[in-house]
Protein backbone atom coordinates (compact mmCIF):
# COMPACT_ATOMS: atom_id res chain seq x y z
CA UNK A 1 0.00 0.00 0.00
CA UNK A 2 1.37 3.40 -0.94
CA UNK A 3 1.58 6.40 1.39
CA UNK A 4 -1.65 7.99 0.10
CA UNK A 5 -3.58 4.76 0.59
CA UNK A 6 -2.20 4.38 4.13
CA UNK A 7 -3.16 7.96 4.91
CA UNK A 8 -6.70 7.52 3.60
CA UNK A 9 -7.03 4.26 5.53
CA UNK A 10 -6.00 6.06 8.73
CA UNK A 11 -8.61 8.77 8.11
CA UNK A 12 -11.22 6.06 7.43
CA UNK A 13 -10.35 4.30 10.68
CA UNK A 14 -10.95 7.49 12.67
CA UNK A 15 -14.20 8.09 10.78
CA UNK A 16 -15.38 4.56 11.55
CA UNK A 17 -14.72 5.01 15.26
CA UNK A 18 -16.56 8.32 15.20
CA UNK A 19 -19.60 6.72 13.52
CA UNK A 20 -19.51 3.86 16.02
CA UNK A 21 -19.49 6.35 18.92
CA UNK A 22 -22.50 8.18 17.46
CA UNK A 23 -24.32 4.87 17.00
CA UNK A 24 -23.58 3.87 20.59
CA UNK A 25 -24.89 7.17 21.88
CA UNK A 26 -28.06 6.90 19.83
CA UNK A 27 -28.46 3.31 21.03
CA UNK A 28 -28.33 4.45 24.64
CA UNK A 29 -25.06 2.63 25.36
CA UNK A 30 -22.77 5.16 27.06
CA UNK A 31 -20.24 2.49 28.04
CA UNK A 32 -19.78 1.48 24.41
CA UNK A 33 -19.65 5.15 23.37
CA UNK A 34 -16.77 5.68 25.82
CA UNK A 35 -14.91 2.70 24.33
CA UNK A 36 -15.40 4.05 20.82
CA UNK A 37 -14.30 7.55 21.86
CA UNK A 38 -11.11 6.10 23.34
CA UNK A 39 -10.51 4.21 20.09
CA UNK A 40 -11.21 7.41 18.11
CA UNK A 41 -8.62 9.30 20.19
CA UNK A 42 -6.08 6.54 19.54
CA UNK A 43 -6.83 6.40 15.81
CA UNK A 44 -6.57 10.17 15.45
CA UNK A 45 -3.40 10.18 17.54
CA UNK A 46 -1.80 7.69 15.15
CA UNK A 47 -2.93 9.81 12.21
CA UNK A 48 -1.38 12.95 13.66
CA UNK A 49 1.78 11.12 14.69
CA UNK A 50 2.34 9.73 11.22
CA UNK A 51 1.11 12.59 9.01
CA UNK A 52 0.71 15.63 11.24
CA UNK A 53 3.73 17.49 9.89
CA UNK A 54 3.09 16.64 6.26
CA UNK A 55 -0.46 15.99 5.15
CA UNK A 56 -2.51 17.46 7.99
CA UNK A 57 -0.56 20.69 8.17
CA UNK A 58 -0.86 21.02 4.40
CA UNK A 59 -4.67 20.77 4.31
CA UNK A 60 -5.98 23.92 2.69
CA UNK A 61 -9.24 25.74 3.23
CA UNK A 62 -11.40 25.96 6.30
CA UNK A 63 -10.63 24.41 8.65
CA UNK A 64 -6.93 24.07 8.03
CA UNK A 65 -4.85 21.13 9.21
CA UNK A 66 -3.48 22.82 12.34
CA UNK A 67 -6.99 23.76 13.44
CA UNK A 68 -8.11 20.18 12.91
CA UNK A 69 -5.24 18.85 15.02
CA UNK A 70 -6.39 21.05 17.92
CA UNK A 71 -10.15 21.19 17.43
CA UNK A 72 -10.88 17.51 16.86
CA UNK A 73 -9.43 16.24 20.16
CA UNK A 74 -11.27 19.02 22.04
CA UNK A 75 -14.57 18.00 20.45
CA UNK A 76 -13.96 14.37 21.42
CA UNK A 77 -13.32 15.46 25.03
CA UNK A 78 -16.51 17.52 24.91
CA UNK A 79 -18.46 14.50 23.68
CA UNK A 80 -17.04 12.39 26.51
CA UNK A 81 -18.01 15.01 29.09
CA UNK A 82 -21.52 15.33 27.68
CA UNK A 83 -21.99 11.55 27.83
CA UNK A 84 -20.87 11.65 31.46
CA UNK A 85 -23.29 14.53 32.16
CA UNK A 86 -26.19 12.68 30.55
CA UNK A 87 -26.42 14.98 27.51
CA UNK A 88 -26.29 12.63 24.52
CA UNK A 89 -27.70 15.32 22.23
CA UNK A 90 -24.72 17.60 22.81
CA UNK A 91 -22.30 14.66 22.59
CA UNK A 92 -23.77 13.73 19.21
CA UNK A 93 -23.56 17.32 18.00
CA UNK A 94 -19.88 17.41 18.95
CA UNK A 95 -19.24 14.17 17.05
CA UNK A 96 -21.03 15.44 13.95
CA UNK A 97 -18.54 18.31 14.02
CA UNK A 98 -15.75 15.72 14.33
CA UNK A 99 -17.16 14.03 11.23
CA UNK A 100 -16.91 17.30 9.30
CA UNK A 101 -13.31 17.78 10.44
CA UNK A 102 -12.36 14.26 9.39
CA UNK A 103 -14.05 14.71 6.02
CA UNK A 104 -11.86 17.77 5.45
CA UNK A 105 -8.86 15.44 5.59
CA UNK A 106 -9.92 13.32 2.61
CA UNK A 107 -7.44 13.37 -0.27
CA UNK A 108 -8.96 13.83 -2.78
CA UNK A 109 -12.04 15.56 -1.29
CA UNK A 110 -15.06 13.27 -0.96
CA UNK A 111 -18.42 15.05 -1.29
CA UNK A 112 -20.31 11.83 -0.45
CA UNK A 113 -18.52 11.62 2.91
CA UNK A 114 -19.29 15.27 3.61
CA UNK A 115 -23.01 14.70 3.03
CA UNK A 116 -22.89 11.64 5.26
CA UNK A 117 -22.13 13.58 8.44
CA UNK A 118 -25.77 14.55 8.87
CA UNK A 119 -27.36 11.80 6.78
CA UNK A 120 -26.10 9.03 9.05
CA UNK A 121 -27.56 10.56 12.18
CA UNK A 122 -30.05 8.35 13.98
Residue 93: the pLDDT is 95
Residue 13: the pLDDT is 96
Domain range summary for the chain, segments of one domain joined by +:
3-117
What is the full per-residue pLDDT of the chain (122 aa) written as tens digits? 788 889 889 999 999 999 999 999 999 999 999 999 999 999 999 998 888 776 655 555 545 667 788 899 999 999 999 999 999 999 999 999 999 999 988 888 788 887 788 765 65
Residue 57: the pLDDT is 53
- pTM, rounded to two decimals: 0.88
**Following DSSP, what letter does each residue of the chain receive, concatenated?**
--HHHHHHHHHHHHHHHHHHHHHHHHTT-HHHHHHHHHHHHHHHHHHHHHHIIIIIHH--SSS-HHHHHHHHHHHHHHHHHHHHTT-HHHHHHHHHHHHHHHHTT-SS--HHHHHHHHHT--
Amino acid sequence: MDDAALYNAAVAEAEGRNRAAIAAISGGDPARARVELAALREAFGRLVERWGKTRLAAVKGEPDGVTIMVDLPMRVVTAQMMIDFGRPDIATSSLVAVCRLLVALHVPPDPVAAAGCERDLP
